[in-house]
């Protein structure tokens, strides 16, 4: 419920203005849970309702006293505000988003201090939910929806990287899906961990300290290296894409140490093995973007999105599909999926000696093939039983050939 501060008349929570005098209504509070900020003004906006609580702070709904424009106001928790690094990160979030000014980066309006010596940040009010909540309980997204989200995030990252800004903490909880008539309209949140390459500023962490959510952290971040660049964000985006398409966290493990070990030394199960409805071509796309050595990844997030669209048989530019209605992308994906697949070429069918290709290693038809471990240097090392350099299929054909040769030899001796 909400109440008019002028006439004290109560209204349902969806009624934002008093029907008697047009005054902005304020959220009613339970006697044992009173928030002193409600009804007060922070910057140019009145705090009218509590929206959510997070680890760093509380989010409020705010209204401009004259225009009555609706905004979100994020205020650091008191214990967080005492930490100098947290305050600097919060301020960096505001400064970065303000400078970027991109349709898929949350729009910020004000930054300031509260009466109780905390900090607040005013931003556009978004209706929707975080991608992390959508993916909760192992849910995956429909293919077209996942691609649309990918395209919008990639455009925002490409824009940020062109300014030298690296997000460094990209995760589903920092990808907000705002509702629109055409489908999801993405906003990237929390550029507080940003690293600015073009200028020298205050460091938010000491060298050797990892920054970022562990499940989506790049190998270079996991190792505490200082040479983090846009390809770390690309790695995180690929891990998010993997989760959107499969419903699984790419580098799931029970504790932080094992998560980091998996990120540095293992590759996740190919997505088309986890979800057979996916095109096999997406396996190579995600594997490249998750390469342990950043030099082996795509040159940027936009290139990753282009490759993902191509893997699903969708032609066109990333920016084009990011803005077009979801229904059109759904049609394009369905049409490509229904199209007859080209026959395997003789060259592809030819058995070759030597190190098996990535597609041979990850083929869903070879369920018994071993999992290859990728080291921090980006090179692959096959298990001992395959030190011959031959793929399992090639070994099988070699065995068949030997048997035929022995039978033929025996037949000659019997003559």
Is 354 within the bounds of a domain? no
* Pairing outcome for strands 119-124 and 70-76: antiparallel
138 & 277 share domain: yes
Counting Cα atoms < 13 Å in the Cβ hemisphere of 208 gives 0
188 & 299 share domain: yes
Position 72 scores a pLDDT of 94
Residue with tokens 């098996």: 356
64 & 112 share domain: yes
Partners of 380 in the beta sheet?
374
Average pLDDT per run of 10 along the chain, which is 415 residues long?
89 88 89 89 93 88 93 92 86 87 92 90 92 90 97 96 91 93 92 63 41 82 88 97 97 92 95 96 97 96 97 95 95 90 44 32 33 33 37 43 48 44
Position 19 scores a pLDDT of 85
Partners of 45 in the beta sheet?
42
* Pairing outcome for strands 108-113 and 2-3: unpaired
Is 58 within the bounds of a domain? yes
Asked if 241 and 234 count as a contact pair (C-beta separation under 8 A), the reply is no
Chosen domain end from 103, 124, 145: 124
Q: What angle do CA 399, 402, 403 make, to 5 degrees?
A: 90
Residue tagged active-site, from 169, 190, 233, 283: 169
Non-local (6+) Cβ contacts of 100 within 8 A are 159, 160, 163, 165, 191
Q: What angle do CA 273, 300, 336 make, to 5 degrees?
A: 45
Is 358 within the bounds of a domain? no
Asked if 185 and 178 count as a contact pair (C-beta separation under 8 A), the reply is yes
234 & 310 share domain: yes
Position 197 scores a pLDDT of 58
Q: Is the dihedral of CA 273, 274, 275, 281 positive or negative?
A: negative
Q: Is 169 a catalytic residue?
A: yes
Chosen domain end from 285, 311, 339: 339
Verdict on whether the full-model pTM lies above 0.85 = no
Position 90 scores a pLDDT of 87
Q: What is the DSSP string of 39-67?
A: T-EETTEEEEEEEEE-SSEEEEEEE-TTT
Tally of CB atoms within 10 A around 372: 16
254 & 145 share domain: yes
70 & 133 share domain: no
316 & 388 share domain: no
167 & 274 share domain: yes
Is 188 within the bounds of a domain? yes
115 & 133 share domain: no
Partners of 20 in the beta sheet?
none
- Using alpha carbons, select from 278, 270, 275, 227 the residue that is nearest to residue 250: 270
Is 366 within the bounds of a domain? no
Non-local (6+) Cβ contacts of 25 within 8 A are 2, 3, 4, 5, 11, 15, 16, 17, 18, 48
144 & 116 share domain: no
Q: In what order do the strands lie in the sheet with 185-188?
A: 128-130, 175-178, 185-188
Tally of CB atoms within 10 A around 85: 13
Domain count, the chain: 3
Asked if 47 and 116 count as a contact pair (C-beta separation under 8 A), the reply is no
**E strand or H helix at 221, and its extent?**
helix 219-222
Position 297 scores a pLDDT of 97
Q: Tell me the chain's radius of gyration from C-alpha atoms.
A: 27
Tally of CB atoms within 10 A around 46: 22
CATH code for position 56 = 3.30.200.20
Is 367 within the bounds of a domain? no
Counting Cα atoms < 13 Å in the Cβ hemisphere of 10 gives 4
317 & 330 share domain: yes
**Residues 259, 215: Cα–Cα separation, whole Å:** 7
Q: What is the dihedral of CA 162, 166, 167, 170, to 10 degrees?
A: 90
Chosen domain end from 287, 315, 339: 339
**Residues 63, 378: Cα–Cα separation, whole Å:** 51
Is 192 within the bounds of a domain? yes
CATH code for position 163 = 1.10.510.10
262 & 190 share domain: yes
* Pairing outcome for strands 45-53 and 373-374: unpaired
**Residues 377, 392: Cα–Cα separation, whole Å:** 26
Is 225 within the bounds of a domain? yes
* Rounded (to 5) percent helix, strand, coil in the chain: 40, 15, 45
**Residues 173, 393: Cα–Cα separation, whole Å:** 43
| Domain of 411, in residue numbers | 382-415
Residue with tokens 């998010």: 240
């Amino acid at each position: 419920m909400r109440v008019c501060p002028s006439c004290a008349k109560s209204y349902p929570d969806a009624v934002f203005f008093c029907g008697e005098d047009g005054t902005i209504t304020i959220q009613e509070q339970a006697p044992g849970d009173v928030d002193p900020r409600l009804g007060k003004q922070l910057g140019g906006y009145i705090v009218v309702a509590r929206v959510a609580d997070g680890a760093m702070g509380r989010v409020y709904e705010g209204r401009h006293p004259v225009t009555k424009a609706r905004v979100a106001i994020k205020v650091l928790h008191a214990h967080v505000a005492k930490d100098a690094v947290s305050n600097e990160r919060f301020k960096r979030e505001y400064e970065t988003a303000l400078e970027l000014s991109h349709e898929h980066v949350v729009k910020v309006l004000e930054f300031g201090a509260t009466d109780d010596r905390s900090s607040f940040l005013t931003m556009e009010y978004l209706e929707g939910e975080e991608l992390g909540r959508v993916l909760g309980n192992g849910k995956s997204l429909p293919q077209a929806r996942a691609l649309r989200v990918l395209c919008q995030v990639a455009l925002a990252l490409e824009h940020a990287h062109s300014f030298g800004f690296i997000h460094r903490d990209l995760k589903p909880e920092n990808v907000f899906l705002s509702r629109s008539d055409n489908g999801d309209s993405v906003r990237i949140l929390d550029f507080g961990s940003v690293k600015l390459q073009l200028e020298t500023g205050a460091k938010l962490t000491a060298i050797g300290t990892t920054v970022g959510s562990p499940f989506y952290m790049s190998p270079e971040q996991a190792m505490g290296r200082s040479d983090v660049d846009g390809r770390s964000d690309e790695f995180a985006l690929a891990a998010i894409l993997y989760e959107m398409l499969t419903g699984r966290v790419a580098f799931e493990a029970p504790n932080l140490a094992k998560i980091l070990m998996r990120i540095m030394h293992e590759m996740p199960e190919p997505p088309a093995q986890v979800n057979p409805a996916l095109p096999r071509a997406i396996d190579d796309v995600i594997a490249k973007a998750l390469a342990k050595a950043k030099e082996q990844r795509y040159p940027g997030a936009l290139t990753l999105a282009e490759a993902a669209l191509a893997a699903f048989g969708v032609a066109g530019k990333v920016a084009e599909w990011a803005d077009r209605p979801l229904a059109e992308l759904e049609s394009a994906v369905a049409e490509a999926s229904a199209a007859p697949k080209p026959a395997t070429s003789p060259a592809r069918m030819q058995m070759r000696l030597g190190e098996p290709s990535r597609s041979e290693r990850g083929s869903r038809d070879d369920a018994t093939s071993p999992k290859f471990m990728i080291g921090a240097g980006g090179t692959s090392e096959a298990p001992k039983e395959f030190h011959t350099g031959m793929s399992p299929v090639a070994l099988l054909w070699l065995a068949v050939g030997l048997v035929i040769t022995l039978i033929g030899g025996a037949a000659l001796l019997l003559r």
